Amino acid sequence: MQCFKFIKVMMILFNLLIFLCGAALLAVGIWVSVDGTSFLKAFGSLSSSASQFVNVGYFLIAAGAMLFILGFLGCYGAHSENKCALMMFFSILLIIFIAEIAGAVVALVYTTMAEQFLALLVVPAIEKDYGYQSDFTQVWNTTMEELHCCGFNNYTDFSASRFVEENKVFPQYCCANPSNHTIEELCTEDKARSMNVQGCFKEILHKIRTNAVTVGGVAVGVAALELAAMAVSMYLYCNLK
C-alpha cells in the first residue's frame, strides 16, 4: 500500500513537470509563430542551429501540445485514479516510443532517402523565400555563418533563386575560404563553384556523427524515461480497484 502511494505521488509530480514544460513550449511556439523576429533577437544564434529544416513555431506548438496532453492525462489519471486516463497516457507514450524507434531506424538506414526528401522541401523554399522572407533569411544566414556551409546541398541551391536572379550574386557564405573562412565581398557563381563550400545538411550530419555518443546517450535517456513512465502507469492501472 505504501509503495502504491509513493508511486502515485511520484507519477503526479513527474507529470506535473511534463505538463508545465508542455505549457512553456506551447507558449514559446505561439510566440515564434506570431512574432519570430523578436524571438530570434532574444535568443540569437541559439534558436537557429537546424531550424531551417522545419517551421520552428509549429514544431514547438506540436511538441508543447503533446507534452501538455500527456502531462494532464498522467497527472489526472494518477490523482483521480482514473483507469481510462492512465490507459490513454500509456497508449500515447507507446505510440511515441514506437515512432521514435521507427524514425531512428529510418534515419540510420535511409539517410540518403531522408536527404532527398528534405531537399524536395527545402530547396524550393530557398529559391522562393531566401532574401524575401526576413525570418527565413536570417535563420539561413546564421546557420551558414556558424556551420561554414552554403545552402542545403551546396551553392547550386541558389542558382535558380529569386535572390540570385535579381541581385546577380550568391550569398557571401557560398564564397567563404575553406581554410580560414574569410568571406569574399562579391560572391559570383564562378567564385562559389571554385570555393565549393559544403552544404549545410552534410555539415549538420557531420556534427551529429562527431557527437554520436552524446546524441545516443540523450536518446537512450529519453527512451528509458518513456519506458519507466509506461511501466508506472501500467502498475497504477493494474492496482486500481
Q: Cα(194)–Cα(186) distance, rounded to whole angstroms?
A: 14
Q: Give me the amino acid identity at 167.
A: N
Q: Cα(139)–Cα(193) distance, rounded to whole angstroms?
A: 23
3-state secondary structure of 188: coil
The structural domains of the chain, with segments of one domain joined by +, span: 112-205
Q: Cα(225)–Cα(74) distance, rounded to whole angstroms?
A: 14
Tabulate helix, strand, coil % of the chain (nearest 5).
80, 0, 20
Task: State the number of CA atoms in the 13 A half-sphere of 104 facing the CB.
Answer: 13
CA angle 141, 48, 26 (to 5 degrees): 140
CA angle 113, 118, 123 (to 5 degrees): 130
Local confidence pLDDT in tens for the 241 residues of the chain: 678 788 888 888 888 888 888 888 888 778 777 765 555 555 554 444 444 444 566 777 888 888 888 888 888 888 888 888 889 989 988 998 888 888 777 766 766 676 677 778 888 888 888 988 887 888 888 888 888 889 888 888 898 888 888 888 898 888 887 776 677 668 888 888 888 888 888 888 777 777 767 767 777 788 888 888 888 888 888 887 6
CB atoms under 10 Å from CB of 118, counted, come to: 14
Nearest to 74 by CA among 66, 25, 59, 28: 66
CATH topology of domain 112-205: Cd81 Antigen, Extracellular Domain; Chain: A (1.10.1450)
Give me the pLDDT at residue 46, please: 46
